Amino acid sequence: MRRECALASEGRVQAMKNAVPKNDKKRRKQLADEVAQTEAELEARHERERLALAGEHSESQAATVGSVLDALASVELTSVAENAGTTETQLRVSKAQKRRDKKAASEREREARIVAAELNELTHGARHLEGRRVADLLAARGLHARPVPPDGHCMYAAVRHQLEARAGPALSVAELRTRAASYIRQHRDEFAPFLTQAGTGEAYTDEEFDKYCDEVEKTAAWGGQLELRALSHALETPLEVVQASAPTITIGDEYHVPPITLIYMRHAYGLGEHYDSVEPIPVGGGAEGGGEDGESGR
């Protein structure tokens, strides 16, 4: 629209120039003034239009720049948010890894302490000291340990081994248990006073006494001093028990035959007390059965 108006004004100026009569100087001067005024107005209009166009362009350019800046800000904010999310994820992963590393280090330290404790027990603990003491006691008598399995039958198995070694009666563990239980049943008054309930200390009832005898005979119940006494009388043979923490004890010394020698170990195994057998040290040999520490095999 502005361009059409400008073209119309320019056409009007040209028409005015063409209409000036050549011979009429007065009219010619008047038209020249009108043409000059019209051209001045036209020039002023052109300037105003140019300035208006420049302003619109600046506004448009400013709007474009603003849009670009907004877009850049959005991109930067998105990038910062993404980076923050990545950093947070990395932080979580790092903390989790640190926890795992700390747990693994604690586990390694715990295992190291266990190994150190076991090593100390083997070299300086009660088991080691007990084994050395028993080995010395046996060596003084020309004997060493002969291990038997720690399965609840160890006392009876050690007696059986001794009987076989001296060409005595070939009795199995089950037969030895039966003989011990039978002797206890037949001599109730002799054994009953020593059988009491662990919690109350009260004497066994008849039912409890019978149950005890059945366990001696038919289960893998661990044997102790009462069962050793019953076996000694049933076999009519003295039984001597070598131990590290007390003098050697002899049960059934009224029988005048070579005793059966057993080893009593309090600390050999984590399960508790244990009995081993013995055998002579071979001529020119060492204490093969129990080794340097006199430790028994399971």
Question: Which residues are designated catalytic?
Answer: 151, 154, 274
Among candidates 117, 112, 114, which has minimal Cα distance to 128?
Answer: 117
Return d(Cα 214, Cα 220) in angstroms, integer: 11
Helix axes 173-186, 206-218, angle to 10 degrees: 160
Contact yes or no for 265/275 (Cβ under 8 A): yes
Count of residues making up the chain:
298
Three-class secondary structure of residue 266 per DSSP: strand
Contact yes or no for 129/270 (Cβ under 8 A): no
Q: Which residues contact 276 (CB under 8 A, 6 or more apart)?
A: 145, 146, 147, 148, 154, 158, 262, 263, 265, 268, 289, 290, 296
Q: Which residues contact 166 (CB under 8 A, 6 or more apart)?
A: 258
* Tokens of residue 111, six digits: 């295992």
Return d(Cα 64, Cα 60) in angstroms, integer: 6
